[in-house]
């Protein structure tokens, strides 16, 4: 089915990213916007722009009915959901299909299936892919301690005791040794019972120092699923990825073969199409476990693009219009150089990452060899309070990891955002860390390192910085005199132009 006009049901940098891919392919674009996004970059760059409602996402970017109305009125024949908002909403994918629109993503059935943690786990098991060892059946009140101890022995310590109906850490206990189990079991059951009305629990192996490794996949409608070289996403702050890189230094070529073919196997088991990502936990001993599948384009997709040369969004569209995946599977698994991404947020890293929305008064974006800035904003643009505070993804590429990191340091130092606070100083600090540089980290790295700082400012200001700032302010005042503001050269140009006009 041909795609001639794509409605992008999103905002910010990802809407801009998709608009650019469409433009590359000669496909028209339709942007949607909430009230406060009228002047947003994605609106400015799209061929068409339609309002979809007030600022709260529930009243605009999450309104399936309004967005489908816009698709019909604008004559769009396809919809790209981006990530977040409606990207993993099976009702939206189904509504698009029912309305005769091509949904640029997986089928609603695949979204439903892989959206369920237990169903996804079953799919992995069916594909012969390891999952975090644990009990498959709930352990109710009637299961005696001796039986639980026996099961625990089979899983191995340390382990996590979790409420089946759990959430928010309630009914969750870490158990390091067998003698801790009976007490923890009583506590977890009673907590789960009072919190959820269901005291059933289950056991899961606790992976002490895991890395988060994920595998990008593309699947076409002709049965082909291709995995890409892995992404290393262990650098997380409060379970939110902040720095990603590809490849991972913790993944050997042999491990890469195993993980990527397992990832593809899970996707094939469920007949997955379009772009998706399988997330794994990688243990220190090299064993890995299926964690979950993301049924959408990922925020960090550019690092994969940088090391494979593949435009993933373009392929999403090509797959959606029925094309076959003609990429060479071998080249997708051999990274060309190394890529790193920093997610730049409008947050103040020195005030516990408090959001810092507002107007961007000044913006200097880094350029030069190996630098890519996927931004959703511009100088003079507004960072609204209603949405995710990520303003840009800064990506660098290098011949190897050190080269990519050096370029990232250079690009971050060139990056200047005035008017709002950003996490740029936080990234400069992480990049200086010896353990990070040596790739010695797991998913707890950032929270541990930040905790150890005990609130010390990320970038100390010394006497030299103060002197330079005072010099700058003083010279700013001096050069702000009327003469400086209106240089003689330009004045005389105007004068001569006026004379010229008068004499005509």
Partner 1 sequence: MQMRIEAGNTLRHVFVQRKNGVYEVTIDGTTHHVDAVRIDPATLSLVVHDAAGGRRSLAAALSPGGAPGAVDVHVAGRRVPVQVQNGSGLGRRREAGATGSGPQRVLAPMPGKVVRVLVKPGDAVTARQGLVVVEAMKMENELRAARDGRVKDVSVVEGQSVDAGTVLVLVE
- Which residues are at the interface with partner 1 (CB under 8 A)? 361-362, 364, 413, 416, 418-419, 421, 425, 428, 459, 461, 463-480, 484
Q: Can you tell me the distance from the alpha carbon of 326 to that of 484, in angstroms, rounded to the nearest whole number? A: 60
Q: CB 109 → partner 1: shortest distance, Å?
A: 50
Residue 362 is encoded by which pair of tokens?
Answer: 């000044």
Nearer to partner 1 (CB atom), residue 179 or residue 462: 462
Per-position b or e across 46-61, b if 16+ CB within 10 A of its CB:
bebbbebbeeebeebb
Nearer to partner 1 (CB atom), residue 209 or residue 351: 351
Q: CB 421 → partner 1: shortest distance, Å?
A: 8
Nearer to partner 1 (CB atom), residue 186 or residue 418: 418
Q: Can you tell me the distance from the alpha carbon of 184 to that of 161, in angstroms, rounded to the nearest whole number? A: 8
Q: CB 366 → partner 1: shortest distance, Å?
A: 13
Spatial neighbors of 277 by CB under 8 A, at least 6 apart, are 214, 215, 216, 217, 293, 294, 298
Eight-class DSSP state of 78: E
Nearer to partner 1 (CB atom), residue 201 or residue 424: 424
- To 10 degrees, the CA torsion angle through 99, 114, 301, 205? 170
Q: Where are the beta strands (DSSP E) in 264-327?
A: 274-282, 288-294
CB 272 within 8 A of CB 319: no
Q: CB 352 → partner 1: shortest distance, Å?
A: 17
Q: Can you tell me the distance from the alpha carbon of 442 to that of 415, in angstroms, rounded to the nearest whole number? A: 28
DSSP bridge partners of 215: 278
Residue 385 is encoded by which pair of tokens?
Answer: 């309070």
Nearer to partner 1 (CB atom), residue 180 or residue 414: 414
Residue 147: CB atoms within 10 A of its CB come to: 11
Q: CB 384 → partner 1: shortest distance, Å?
A: 19
| Percent helix / strand / coil, the chain, rounded to 5 | 40, 25, 35
Nearer to partner 1 (CB atom), residue 476 or residue 501: 476
Which spans in 75-180 are helix H? 90-98, 108-115, 117-126, 145-155
Q: CB 465 → partner 1: shortest distance, Å?
A: 5
Task: State whether residue 19 is helix, strand or coil.
Answer: helix
Active-site residues, by number, are: 296
């Amino acid at each position: 089915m041909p795609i001639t006009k794509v409605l992008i049901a999103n905002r910010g940098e990802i809407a801009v990213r998709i608009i650019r891919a469409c433009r590359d392919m000669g496909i028209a674009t339709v942007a949607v916007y909430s009230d406060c996004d009228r002047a947003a970059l994605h609106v400015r760059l799209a061929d068409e722009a339609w309002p979809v409602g007030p600022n709260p996402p529930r009243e605009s970017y999450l309104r399936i009915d309004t967005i489908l109305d816009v698709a019909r009125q604008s004559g769009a024949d396809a919809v790209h959901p981006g990530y977040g908002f409606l990207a993993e909403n099976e009702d939206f994918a189904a509504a698009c299909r029912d309305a005769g629109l091509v949904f640029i993503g997986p089928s609603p059935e695949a979204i439903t299936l892989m959206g369920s943690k237990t169903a996804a786990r079953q799919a992995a098991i069916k594909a012969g892919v390891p999952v975090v060892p644990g009990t498959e059946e709930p352990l109710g009140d009637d299961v005696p301690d001796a039986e639980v101890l026996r099961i625990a022995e089979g899983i191995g310590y340390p382990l996590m005791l979790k409420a089946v109906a759990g959430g928010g850490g309630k009914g969750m206990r870490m158990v390091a040794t067998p003698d801790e189990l009976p007490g923890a079991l009583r506590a977890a059951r009673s907590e789960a019972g009072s919190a959820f009305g269901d005291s059933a629990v289950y056991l899961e192996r606790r992976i002490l120092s895991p890395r988060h490794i994920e595998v990008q996949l593309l699947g076409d409608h002709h049965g082909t699923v291709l995995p890409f070289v892995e992404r290393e996403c262990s650098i997380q702050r409060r379970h939110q990825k902040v720095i990603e890189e590809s490849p991972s230094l913790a993944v050997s070529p042999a491990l890469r073969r195993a993980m990527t073919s397992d990832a593809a196997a899970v996707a094939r088991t469920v007949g997955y199409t379009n772009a998706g990502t399988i997330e794994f936990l990688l243990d220190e001993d090299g064993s890995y476990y299926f964690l979950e599948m993301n049924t959408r384009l990922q925020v960090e997709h550019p690092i994969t693009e940088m090391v494979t040369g593949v435009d993933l969004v373009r392929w999403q569209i090509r797959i959606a219009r029925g094309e076959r995946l003609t990429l060479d599977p071998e080249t997708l698994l051999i990274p060309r150089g190394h890529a790193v991404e920093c997610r730049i947020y409008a947050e103040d890293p020195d005030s516990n990452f408090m959001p810092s929305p507002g107007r961007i008064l000044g913006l200097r974006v880094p350029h030069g060899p190996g630098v890519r800035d996927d931004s959703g904003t511009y100088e003079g643009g507004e960072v609204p309070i209603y949405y995710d505070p990520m303003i840009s993804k800064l990506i660098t590429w290098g011949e190897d990891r050190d080269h990519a990191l050096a370029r990232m340091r250079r690009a971050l130092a060139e990056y200047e955002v005035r008017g709002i606070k950003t996490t740029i100083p936080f990234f400069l600090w992480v990049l200086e860390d010896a353990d990070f540089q040596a790739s010695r980290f797991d998913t707890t790295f950032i929270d541990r390192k930040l905790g150890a700082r005990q609130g010390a400012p990320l970038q100390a200001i010394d006497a030299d910085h103060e002197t330079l700032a005072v010099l700058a302010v003083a010279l700013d005042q001096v050069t702000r005199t009327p003469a400086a503001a209106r240089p003689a050269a330009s004045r005389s140009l105007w004068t001569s132009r006026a004379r010229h006009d008068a004499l005509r």
